[in-house]
A and B are shown apart, each in its own frame.
Chain A
Amino acid sequence: MHTEEGTIPDDYLHYTRQKVMYIAAGIVLVFFLFILAISVGAVAIPPVDVLQTLFGIGASVKWERIIWNIRLPQALAAIIAGVGLAVAGVAMQSILRNPLASPFTLGISSAGAFGAAVSIILLGTGRIQSTVANPVSISNPYLTTIVAFLFCMLATAVILILSHVKGASPEVMILTGVALSSLFSAGVMFLQYFSSDTQLAAVVFWSFGDVGRATWDILPLMAVVVAGATLYFLFNRWNYNAIDAGDETAQGLGVDVARIRIVGMTVAALVSAVIVALLGVIGFVGLVCPHIMRRIVGDDHRFLIPGTAVCGAALLLASDTVARTIVAPYILPVAVITAFMGAPIFIYLLFRGYKR
């Protein structure tokens, strides 16, 4: 082709630079939210002291315990889970060519909840405590988490095997997910019907996703899985753009659509399963963050994936901060607040339409 005629157009460079700026602004926002999240709570810690403690400068020993043992892991968990759920959502929306796809469409969260219910009710891993701070607790969190994770992966396996047999068709994947979701929800109801008050409370408690469950033990695992998945999705950003242009166009561009679809779904399901098993069900982030960013940076996955990751971190961090302070001294689980926080923003963006 006559490439000598072509130059790199300035207006296009300006246009892409603008998108990078939006993402950079998002990262700055997440940083401020991070400091804020650590500084507010039952005990208010001045932001300056937060920074000093985090960077180990100045001897504000009095805050060290609260920051390192409680608030920092919780804030980090919010960021990691937010990024993980959001990128899983954006990848699934492209892979399944469906704007309603999210880690929940595929029944992964219902499967996790069912797994937890099985563990609590049938294996007896739940009980009630009489403390105000933590009225219900899971007596054997490890077993509960493992069983929840196994059921998440079982749901994923069913979807993958079926879609493999059916040639990785997006319709089959979504419909199987919806069917599994109903099946597992019915399973949870069935188990709850025959459970004691205590067990019922424990199951309900488990299903409210809460980043406060994160400890230093599980953070590295979450971080590795989420980082690996995000890198995988970023690496495939051109393939997702190609799939958005239609399966046939993508194949004409040399993209192995069926393989990208199956591997992508596996990765998205794995991230969701890890997060759901460890923190419980946190809805909305995976569905809505991609759409919020589509309206700000457009559908180009080069910008959409990093943008969505930043958005997910910001939404979950902000929601958790609100959840911990809105009815203080009571602490709400973050899952209650995400929709409260996200839905108004989302509806506003839907009204406003796309950014020009």
Chain B
Amino acid sequence: MMLSVNELKFMYRNKNVLREIGFSIERGQVIAVLGPNGVGKTTLLKCLNRILKPMHGTVMLDEESLLDLGTMDIARRVGYVPQRVETGRLTAFDAVLLGRRPHIGWDVTPHDLAVVDAVFIRLSMGALRLTYIDEMSGGELQKVAIARALVQEPKILLLDEPTSNLDLKNQVDILTTIREVVRDHKIAAIMTMHDLNQALRFADTFIFIKNGTVYIHGDRDIVTPQVIEEVYGLPVMIGELSGVRCVIPGVCKITLERNHAYTPP
């Protein structure tokens, strides 16, 4: 057991956002946090590295209580990629170098530069090194944000919807990269997601959140039409396409009615 979260509680303006969250994860896993909009997925991520301060509960990372560490100490253990990153007149190399912030004393050392360079090679982004980030596409920018979290040399990577705003190819690229990095470096990645199909393909463990608690937590076998309908309030079908599980919203009847309705008179 690498990270264990117990009885985490967070209130926002007297409203219980997270009532009682508890789960634990293993090294080398990709965890998908799933649930409808506004259920507190982002809040949960932010509570894990204390961007938001939980009212109650513990987050243990390898015998260490994360919530009791200093902000810089947390940043040396947990990398965070928010949904939105700002750009500026900065080269990709400098933008990623910023990820060394928790390790930098007065100034960067040759070691910091070497780590950044290694991550550029690792993510095959060498050609982008001196590109200004305000001239980058959404996919490239997301890669920069992930690279920035990687140079923090974290044990846990938190990603808030890493594939929102990306085209299909970039989605697959980014998730494949995350998958490989997690495996190769024996870290863990926790990401919030909306696309159940991508989650099924790239995550090992699934956490469904409902009413401020973990509705169900486990491997891909827990992802059933019943669970999804309970959590999202929408009936779905799950089928297999060349051995890959796919989730499609609606039931057969609705689909047919729709098709019928759209047929020109």
A interface with B by C-beta (< 8 Å):
1-9, 11-12, 15, 97, 238-239, 241-242, 244-246, 248-249, 251-256, 294, 298-300, 354
Chain B residues with CB under 8 Å of A252's CB are: 49, 51, 75, 78-82, 149, 158
Selected contact of A241 from candidates B74, B84, B98, B121, CB within 8 Å: B98
Docked pose: A245 CA to B95 CA in angstroms:
8
Q: B182: shortest Cβ distance to chain A, in Å? A: 12
**16 extra interchain contacts, Cβ-Cβ under 8 A, other than A2-B118, A238-B98?**
A1-B150, A3-B115, A4-B118, A5-B117, A15-B91, A241-B90, A241-B101, A244-B88, A245-B85, A245-B88, A246-B84, A248-B51, A251-B51, A252-B81, A252-B82, A253-B98
Chain A residues with CB under 8 Å of B90's CB are: 241, 244, 298-300
The 10 closest A-B pairs by CB, nearest first: A252-B80, A254-B75, A6-B118, A6-B117, A248-B82, A6-B114, A254-B72, A299-B89, A299-B88, A246-B86
Q: B111: shortest Cβ distance to chain A, in Å? A: 7
Q: A231: shortest Cβ distance to chain B, in Å? A: 12
With A3-B114, A12-B130, A252-B80 known to touch, is A246 a contact of B101 (CB < 8 Å)? no
The answer to whether A1 touches B119 (Cβ under 8 A) is: yes
The answer to whether B129 touches A254 (Cβ under 8 A) is: no
B94 within 8 A of A: yes
Q: A304: shortest Cβ distance to chain B, in Å? A: 9
Q: A11: shortest Cβ distance to chain B, in Å? A: 6
With A1-B119, A241-B98, A299-B89 known to touch, is A256 a contact of B71 (CB < 8 Å)? yes
Docked pose: A302 CA to B21 CA in angstroms:
41
Q: A214: shortest Cβ distance to chain B, in Å? A: 33
Chain A residues with CB under 8 Å of B153's CB are: 1
Q: List 8 A-B contacts (CB under 8 A).
A: A8-B114, A9-B113, A9-B117, A12-B129, A252-B149, A253-B98, A254-B75, A300-B94
The answer to whether B89 touches A294 (Cβ under 8 A) is: yes
The answer to whether A249 touches B91 (Cβ under 8 A) is: no
Chain A residues with CB under 8 Å of B56's CB are: none
Docked pose: A299 CA to B46 CA in angstroms:
27
The answer to whether B118 touches A3 (Cβ under 8 A) is: yes
The answer to whether B110 touches A8 (Cβ under 8 A) is: yes
A-B contact number at CB 8 A: 127
B contact patch SS: helix
Docked pose: A125 CA to B150 CA in angstroms:
62
Q: A288: shortest Cβ distance to chain B, in Å? A: 16
Docked pose: A142 CA to B119 CA in angstroms:
59
Chain A residues with CB under 8 Å of B72's CB are: 254
Chain A residues with CB under 8 Å of B129's CB are: 9, 11-12
Selected contact of A12 from candidates B113, B145, B158, CB within 8 Å: B113
B122 within 8 A of A: yes
Q: B48: shortest Cβ distance to chain A, in Å? A: 11
Q: Which residue of B lies closest to A13 (CB)?
A: B113
Q: Which residue of B lies closest to A9 (CB)?
A: B117
Chain A residues with CB under 8 Å of B81's CB are: 252
B102 within 8 A of A: yes
Chain A residues with CB under 8 Å of B71's CB are: 251, 254-256
Docked pose: A5 CA to B122 CA in angstroms:
9
The answer to whether B117 touches A7 (Cβ under 8 A) is: yes
Chain A residues with CB under 8 Å of B80's CB are: 248-249, 251-252
Q: Which residue of A lies closest to B144 (CB)?
A: A245
The answer to whether A5 touches B118 (Cβ under 8 A) is: yes
With A299-B89, A300-B90 known to touch, is A254 a contact of B119 (CB < 8 Å)? no
B206 within 8 A of A: no
Docked pose: A5 CA to B115 CA in angstroms:
8
The answer to whether A238 touches B104 (Cβ under 8 A) is: yes
The answer to whether A246 touches B115 (Cβ under 8 A) is: no
Which residues of B208-257 have CB atoms within 8 Å of chain A's CB atoms? Answer: none
Q: B136: shortest Cβ distance to chain A, in Å? A: 13
Docked pose: A6 CA to B150 CA in angstroms:
14
Which residues of B140-167 have CB atoms within 8 Å of chain A's CB atoms? Answer: 145, 148-153, 158
Q: Which residue of A lies closest to B88 (CB)?
A: A299
Chain A residues with CB under 8 Å of B102's CB are: 253-254
Chain A residues with CB under 8 Å of B51's CB are: 248, 251-252
Docked pose: A4 CA to B111 CA in angstroms:
10
B185 within 8 A of A: yes
B93 within 8 A of A: yes
Q: B125: shortest Cβ distance to chain A, in Å? A: 12
Q: A356: shortest Cβ distance to chain B, in Å? A: 9
Docked pose: A237 CA to B150 CA in angstroms:
21
Docked pose: A301 CA to B131 CA in angstroms:
18
